[in-house]
Amino acid sequence: MGVAGGALVLLIGAGFVGWRILKTHFQEQYYREGYEPLKVVADHVGHYPAEFHLHNVPWISTRESYCQANSLAMVAAQHGIETSTEHCSFLMGFTYGATTVPGNVGVNPYSDPERGFAVAAPYLGLVRRYYVTDDEALYLDALRYVLSQGYAVRVALDASVLYDLDGELPHSDLLVGYDETGFSTYESVCLPEFPCEPGHLPPGEEGLWVSDQTLLNAVLAQAMLFSYPWRYSLTIFEAAPRKEELGAIWTRNADLLIGNAQYGPRQGADAIDELATAIETRGVRVDVSEVTWGLEAAVYARRENAAYLQEVFGGQADVESAAALFDRAAEDYEAALGEVNDGIADQSEVDRIVTRIRDAAMAEREAGEILLARGQKIGSEQGEMP
């Protein structure tokens, strides 16, 4: 009996280890295929001056968590491309969709920005280059060299490390200059805890200063948080032919909204439904602090989605219907947030919250179906596979 029990433990242990290895394999495959990383090569990093600052990049920052889209809007402006945060978000699919948060009840109402940058760039007349290295000295040299060549540098980092805050805060900022000991950054989101105010400032602002070591720590913390197969990364954008036809954007945004992910955490409306199920299961024991931020972000993100579609595609019946569904989802999220904000008192309140969140998921799924039909129609008209 003891031998059998020991064998069972070994099998279970081997199965767990095997599952971890398999998960790591697919995760690394996702990053390498989806992010298309380029290795920083020392021979390609030339000489650079001791100090440098770009004077052709505006500083765009919001109170809302639109860090990724704000970063892209700043880069586009540097290239002389007039666009908005909302348009960048649409092209990236950044605020279209949601993902569950592993180990947490909450939901993140955003999509993977790294893939979003690559998808959006051609529609702005740009191409994205994503460079990686494990060598911190080479990384710092590469940042300074690329900046000295006139490129604003977008960095993915943990803002809680950047500003010495508790917890973890995945984030995106733009580097616009450097000296011998650190870098000038344009903060893309100005939360109350951050040393900046939201707004749109003209090119040439000095920005915030961050030391070499703090920047390294913040970038590495993000890499560890998401288990990247590299330690440090940087993103630049170069001019490229511009794409116009939006069929692929409508289709991708629809897929992000609907979900149906085969692997990994649940996405889109499926993630929203899973949030409702988690709250239903845990009831009054739910840690509302895990839920609040995601609901707050979902309220303003869906309202922004609706406003953008109505402004840019107004008069087109299908898009206006999708916009109305985004507004409806925002109302449901806001109602659920109102119930959650002061804690969950009893089962009747649990039921109301769950109903609202599931209604929001239904509205998002319906909006996704509308966008999907639009994307497929454009694709068929262009002779593309739906």
**CA distances in angstroms from 83 to 91, 124, 371, listed in the order given:** 11, 8, 22
What is the chain's length?
A: 386
Residue 9 pLDDT class (50, 70, 90 cuts): very low
Distance CA(244)–CA(261), nearest Å, equals 28
Three-class DSSP category at 165: coil
- CA 102, distance to chain mean position in Å, is 15
- Contacting residues for 287 by C-beta, under 8 A, at least 6 apart: 105
Would you say 137 and 232 are in contact if contact means Cβ atoms under 8 Å apart? Answer: no
The encoded tokens of residue 339 equal: 């119930």
pLDDT score of 23: 56
Distance from C-alpha of 64 to C-alpha of 261, rounded to nearest angstrom = 27
Tell me the mean pLDDT in the region 274-297. 92
pLDDT at 261: 73
Whether 115 and 132 have beta carbons less than 8 Å apart is answered as no
User: Token pair for residue 79?
Assistant: 């290239």
> Is the per-residue pLDDT at 132 higher than 80?
yes
**Pairwise CA distance, residues 77 & 263, whole Å:** 36
Q: Is the alpha carbon torsion for 65, 69, 75, 79 positive or negative? A: negative
Domain boundaries, the chain: 27-81+125-239, 247-381
For residue 258, what are the CA distances in angstroms to 131, 224, 354, 368? 31, 29, 19, 6
The DSSP line for 51-85 is -EE-SS--EEEBSSS-HHHHHHHHHHHHTT----H
**207-231: pLDDT as tens digits:** 999 999 999 999 999 999 999 999 9
How far apart (Å, rounded) are the C-alpha atoms in residues 194 and 212?
Answer: 19
User: In terms of C-beta density within 10 A (0-12 exposed, 13-18 middle, 19 or more buried), how is residue 127 classed?
Assistant: middle
Q: Which residues make beta-bridge pairs with 211?
A: 182
State pTM to two decimals: 0.90
The CATH code of the domain at 27-81+125-239 is 3.90.70
Check pLDDT > 50 for residue 386: no
Q: Quick one: three-class SS letters along 236-276? A: EEEECCCCCCCHHHHHHHHHHHHCCCCCCCCEHHHHHHHHH
What is the rounded CA–CA span in Å between residue 153 and residue 129? 10
* pLDDT, tens digit, 9 for 90 and up, residues 64-99: 999 999 999 999 999 999 999 999 999 999 999 898
Alpha-carbon torsion 362, 364, 365, 369, what sign? positive
Token representation of residue 324: 């109305």
Predicted pLDDT of residue 10: 44
Rounded distance between C-alpha atoms, residue 99 and residue 117, angstroms: 18
Predicted local distance difference test score (pLDDT) of residue 20: 54
Q: Residue 370 has which token pair?
A: 């509308």
Quick one: average pLDDT of 326-345?
A: 94
Which pLDDT value is given to residue 16?
41
